[in-house]
Structure 1
Amino acid sequence: MEEVKKQMKLAGPLIVVSLLQYGFLMISVMFVGHLGELSLASASMATSFAGMTGFSVMLGMGSALETFCGQAYGAKQYNMVGVHMQRAMLVLALISLPISLIWAFTGQIFIICKQDREISKHAGVYARWMIPSILPYGLLQCLRRFLQAQNCVLPLMISTGIASLVHVLVCWTLVLKLDFGNKGAALSIAISYWFNVFILALYIKFSPTCSQTWTGFSIDGRKKLLSFLKLGIPSALMICLEYWAYEGLVLMSGLLPNPLLETSMMSISITITAMVFRILYGFGSAISTRVSNELGAGKPQSARLAVNVGMFLAVTQGLLLSLIGVAFRGKWGYLFTNEKQLIRYLASIMPILAASNFIDGIQGALSGTVRGCGWQNLGAYINLGSFYLVGLPSAILFTFVFKIGGKGLWIGILCGSSLQAFLLTVITMRTNWELQAAKARESVYMSGQNFQEEENLLFNKDEKIKGFSALSNSTEMEEITN
């Protein structure tokens, strides 16, 4: 019960933060919707493209800090928590440059892909005005993981809530009052993200909670950037491979006999799934924090307990969300449209969508375990095999060979996510937690080691005696002896 309380205290604010940050993009699109169908279509396309090529990359790379900062904080290497954040901020700032270049040519990319020229032109304008938002979004991911690793999530929720209110005000001002149109809606995203970054930076700078973990920028924050990339790249691939697979469903739905109906159904379904994913990601982040803290502290049994409790909570909330989805399956469509045929189609899809969300809840908790342990390389391979060797091929088979239609797309991706959850479950069940704790502590101390510490270790006899005495009753000492 103590572990349940710890995870719920983390998960609640993290879910709110995740939903609100996702809401920034949706609020801008909603304001653009008042400008006409062309503006809405182009803004939706640009937002989807930005998510695939930019925001998902930043979200994934930032999640590497759940391993680095979480384990360092658990090991009481408080200074390294801030150093890891500095490294991530520098890397993500550099990565924002090629992403900005891609966004600058969004319109031309859409035209090359044979999209409608007028919509592509407006989507390119919207994407270019979103370029200032990619850097603050990346910084926001770093600040979030920095505070999350310290179980300091209430300031995250408050600051994101304030920024959301500011975003609505900025959107209303730029879009409706100053007549900036879709340019104002895109620019408002950057303004709100920068505002959120500013609030969190002030909190970290002046709060006594962060006095040990943040001591200012240091030269160590510019070193060992490759060590961050070794974990950051597979972390990004874990998120992006799954995200891209779901976006592929929308593209395939346009190839069906009634593309308008099928694409509308898939777009609404993906929107619902994306909202549910934010809830699941909040739970996964809570599990990741608990596991990384306990492994860094050298407490393997506590880490195992955190995983077991997290799985229990994931199954519980997955069942609850699935039951709500099925119980109100005939009502969800009214949130997006008044077309009776589309609403009935969504109602028929909802049981499959509910099953998919339930499986996603399990794999979301297990993905949090992966990030807490630092298994992102393994997680990337699992996602690649599950979605691109099983999920998407199954979707093509059910949809275009067995002629099931849009349902076949969801059945296929459900096969992929089920395999993903199964593989992650098997790996977690077979984990040697004592070994994982030893590896985590070794990694933490190696990442924080510098030449002065090596010199002290070599020439300070008393410190060497204390160090080996501390190891005398541990499995590490046995390994050294062997």
Structure 2
Amino acid sequence: MTRTSSPQNPAEQMNNQQNPELSSLETSGGSDRLVSVHRRKRTMDEHRDSDSAPPSPTRFRRTRSLVPVGYKTEIKELAKLAGPVMIAQLMSFAVSFVSTVFCGHLGRTELAGVSLAIAVSNVTGVSIGVGLASACDTLISQTYGSGNLKKVGVILQRAVLILLLACFPCWAILINTKSILLAVRQEPEVASLAQLYVKIFMPALPAAFMFSLLSRYLQNQGIIWPQVITGFLVNLLNALINYLLLFVLKMGVAGSALANTLSQFSMVGILYVYIVCRGLHKATWAGWSKECLQDWGSYIRLAIPSMVMMCVEWWTYEIGGFLAGLVSEVELGAQSIVFELANVAVMFPLGFSVAGNVRVGNALGAGDTEQGKLSAKLTVFCAVLVSVGMASLIGGLKDHISYVFTNDETVDRPLYLYVSAMHFLDFLYGLEPEDAEIYSCPPDTAQLEDTDTLPVVVKDQLDFRNLVLRRGLALAVMLFILAVGIILNLLITNLVT
């Protein structure tokens, strides 16, 4: 008796058509082999599904843990501050930069003389004021972040008085520029031109100090654009004055120095008028107060280390100019160009450094230490990234940079070697500036729990009599130092002649 198979339904027929191996096994009665094929098919399907599925979140858990939470927002905030800061720093630096460019086209000796004059002014003048003003980066940013706004104005008043007193010893050194340059064996003609430039520039030193203070007063409140606008207007004025005095009136180096002096006064004057007209001071300024004469120690304890740190770095570059001057005017001209380029390149990571200092200081003043840490880490990252870009740009343009400053081909040859080394050092600078700003902040977070314990607090109030005696004594000492400098200059001049 033959056994007939039951008819298959449509689903079974489709399954057999798609899987002929299963169909043959069913007809042959190989149940064990059928189970094995089912398992193999299920395994293949699982592998196919796993390959097409999106990556598991656990794969990137370790990578994500390295990325700070909220980094995108913080980078945007840093960029909003850093961009205008870069432009403002470049505008401020461009005043002396333009002087170097104009004098470079007067001749090799003029370029060397102006380069040495600017170096001496920076070493014994501008760097001192900028370093002392750096204390405001800590005091104003944290005080503003804590909400104690009127205290910001008192800190500014205190800084103004201290920096004005600092002008006197700076003048005592600047007035002896020629003697100092001759003592380090610079060319007499170059030293004479440098002395002429410095003497004309000396009255502008307080203006340079005050502009640095006002810039920090604004930027530590997150206000940057007034410095940009001021710098743009002053640079237009500076270029026009340089052209008129050097090429129309033929005043030479003296005309360049006069243009620089007028530009410094214009910078602080325009910025001051802008602040007053726009009312940017109203929230933090309650008028001059006797409190600004109190507690100078807290400011000086921050200002002196900041000044030393900045001066050592600044002087390292400037000493290179003095050493180059011992070789020849050609080497000095090339070194001065490299120094100007280095200053321009540094402005870009410095913008993020200043922005990071503002963000960190405001966060610490408000007691938000986690936000301060995040700002510090991202600032270092951004500064390094920008430094790499600037180093690459300078390295690519090293064959053509010298023609911006001079047409002298003898200066072009040593400049090529200097720039080749400088574009690598610019990358390393990106690792440095933010560390300096962070370390200037007080590390004790317990101070942040109460705004009254910030370092700007007046601890020991002096009575009026002692206050007048101490501040009067400070003024007398500064005047005495200036008098000594003038007497030395007269004695040396009489001995030489």
Q: Tell me the TM-score range normalised by the shorter chain.
A: 0.7 to 0.9
Question: CA contact under 8 A between 2:294 and 2:461: conserved in structure 1?
Answer: no
Residues 185, 326 of structure 2: 8 Å contact kept: no
Distance verdict in 2 for CA 1:113–1:288, change over 3 Å: same
Are 2:211 and 1:140 equivalent residues in the alignment?
yes
Q: Deviations over 1:363-407 (max 9, x none)?
A: 022223234x15xxxxxxxxxxxxxxxxxxxxxxxxxxxxxxxxx
Is the aligned partner of 1:312 residue 2:381? yes
Equivalent residue runs for 1:86-105 within 5 Å: 86-105=157-176
Q: How many residues align?
A: 391
CA distances 1:267-322 after superposition (whole Å, capped 9, x unpaired): 33322212112222222111111111110111101101101111121121122112
Work out whether 1:169 is the aligned partner of 2:180: no
State the AA in 1 paired with 2:373.
R
Gaps of 5+ in 2: 1-71, 463-497
C-alpha separation between the residues in 1 aligned to 2:101 and 2:336? 15
The answer to whether structure 1 residue 189 and structure 2 residue 260 are counterparts is yes
Instruction: Report the Cα distance in structure 2 between the residues aligned to 1:440 and 1:239, rounded to whole angstroms.
Output: 29
Between Structure 1 and Structure 2, the one with more helix by share is 1
**What is the identity, as a one-letter code, of the residue corresponding to 1:366?**
D
1:262 deviation in Å? Answer: 5.1
Note the alpha carbon deviations across 1:69-104, whole angstroms, 9 max, x for none.
Answer: 111100011011111111111111111112122212
Partner of 1:67: 138
Mapped contact 1:80–1:448 kept (Cα < 8 A): no
Q: Which of the numbers 457, 465, 473 marks the counterpart of 1:446?
A: 457
Answer with 1 or 2: which has the greater Rg: 2
Which AA in structure 1 matches 2:150? Answer: N
Q: 1:17 aligns with which of 71, 81, 88?
A: 88
Whether 1:284 aligns to 2:353 is: yes
Identify if the C-alpha distance between structure 1 residues 57 and 334 changes in structure 2 by more than 3 Å, giving closer, same or farther.
same
2:269 is matched by which residue type in structure 1?
Answer: F
Question: Residue 25 of structure 1: CA displacement?
Answer: 1.1
Partner of 1:359: 428
SS at match of 1:210: coil
Give me the whole-angstrom Cα distance separating, in 1, the residues matched to 2:218 and 2:358.
Answer: 10
Find the residue that maps to 1:362 and give its secondary structure. coil
TM-score, with structure 1 as normaliser: 0.74
The CA deviation at 1:341 is: 7.5
Deviation at 1:129, TM superposition (A): 0.3
Within 5 Å, give how 1:67-466 maps onto structure 2.
Answer: 67-253=138-324, 263-336=332-405, 343=412, 346-347=415-416, 349-371=418-440, 373-374=441-442, 434-435=445-446, 437-438=448-449, 442-444=453-455, 446-447=457-458
Alignment-mate amino acid for residue 208 of structure 2: Y
Please give the per-residue CA displacement for 1:5-31, whole angstroms capped at 9, x wherever unaligned.
211111111111111111111222333
> Which residue identity does 2:261 align to in structure 1?
A
Distance 1:438 1:449, change over 3 A: farther
- Helix, strand or coil for the counterpart of 1:91? helix
Relative distance call for 1:105 and 1:341 in structure 2 (3 A) is closer
Comparing 329-338 with 442-451, greater Cα deviation is found at 442-451
Letter in 1 for 2:197: Y
Counterparts of 1:277 and 1:7 in 2: how far apart (Å)? 17
Deviations along 1:392-440, one digit per CA (max 9) or x if unpaired, are: xxxxxxxxxxxxxxxxxxxxxxxxxxxxxxxxxxxxxxxx784574598
Aligned residue number for residue 29 of structure 1:
100
Give 1:48's match in structure 2, choosing from 109, 119, 135: 119
Alpha-carbon distance in structure 2 between the residues aligned to 1:120 and 1:68: 40
Residues 301-354 of structure 1: per-residue CA shift (max 9 Å, x gap):
110110111112112112211222333343334444566676565545545322
Deviation readout 1:129-150 (Å, 9 max, x if unpaired): 0001100000001100100111
Rounded Cα–Cα distance in structure 1 between residues aligned with 2:229 and 2:94: 15
Which structure is richer in relative contact order (CA contacts within 8 A, separation 6 or more)? 2
The superposition leaves residues 140-162 of structure 1 with CA deviations (integer Å, 9 ceiling, x where unpaired) of 01100100111010111111211
* Cα distance in 1 between the residues matched to 2:446 and 2:406: 53
Corresponding residue to 1:8 among 79, 94, 119: 79
Deviations 1:167-214 (A, max 9, x none): 222223333334443223212222222222122222332434431112
Change (3 A) 1:180 1:70: same
Structure-1 residue corresponding to 2:22: none
User: How has the CA–CA distance of structure 1 residues 288 and 126 changed in structure 2, closer, same or farther, with 3 Å as cutoff?
Assistant: same
- AA aligned to 1:98 is P
The answer to whether the Cα contact below 8 Å between 1:71 and 1:444 also exists between their aligned partners in 2 is: no
Does the 8 Å CA contact 1:300/1:433 hold for their aligned counterparts? Answer: no
Which one-letter code corresponds to 2:431 in the other structure? I
In the alignment, what sits opposite 1:382?
A: none
- Once the two structures are TM-superposed, the CA of residue 108 in structure 1 deviates from its matched residue by 2.2
Deviation at 1:215, TM superposition (A): 2.3
Shift in CA distance, 175/440, structure 1 to aligned 2, threshold 3 Å: farther
Structure 2 residue identity aligned to 1:69: I
What is residue 474 of structure 2 aligned with on the other side?
none
Q: Structure 1: state its 5+ residue gaps.
A: 375-431, 452-482
8 Å Cα contact 1:315/1:362 also seen in 2: yes
Percent of matched pairs sharing the same residue: 28
